[in-house]
């Protein structure tokens, strides 16, 4: 007998259950990362990124610029991703 095809809802539920397995209740697979987005003029954005990298070193917090772009007004928007605490 053939199984009935999965609906998108079934697939979403199965994926959510997999991401929850082995985790504390209420925690998702993506909650371990802290993301902060800044929109600053170019020079200030560089200074802010340097400050954040010195405060949250890459080796300890896995800090990285996850996304950046130049806006039409010349400002830089960037998202910094890091772990909440170092081990």
Q: Is 37 helix (H, G, I), strand (E, B) or coil?
A: strand
Contact present, 64 and 58 (Cβ < 8 Å) = yes
Distance (Å, whole) CA 39 – CA 32: 23
Query: In this structure, is residue 2 part of a structural domain?
Result: no
Query: In this structure, is residue 62 part of a structural domain?
Result: yes
- Domain range for 76 is 32-82
Place of tokens 């990362």: 33
Query: In this structure, is residue 1 part of a structural domain?
Result: no
Number of domains in the chain: 1
Place of tokens 């802290």: 34
pLDDT single digits (tens) 9-66: 887 787 777 766 555 445 545 558 899 999 999 999 999 999 999 999 999 999 999 9
pTM of the entire structure? 0.62
Complete edge-to-edge strand list for the sheet that includes strand 34-40: 34-40, 76-82, 64-70
pLDDT at 19: 61
Average pLDDT over residues 1-6: 67
């Amino acid at each position: 007998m053939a199984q009935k095809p999965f609906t998108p809802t079934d697939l979403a539920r199965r994926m959510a259950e997999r991401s929850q397995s082995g985790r504390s209740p209420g925690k998702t697979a993506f909650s371990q990362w802290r993301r902060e987005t800044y929109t600053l003029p170019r020079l200030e954005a560089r200074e802010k990124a340097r400050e954040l990298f010195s405060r949250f070193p890459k080796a300890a917090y896995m800090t990285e610029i996850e996304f950046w772009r130049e806006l039409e007004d010349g400002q830089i928007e960037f998202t910094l991703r890091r772990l909440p605490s170092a081990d």
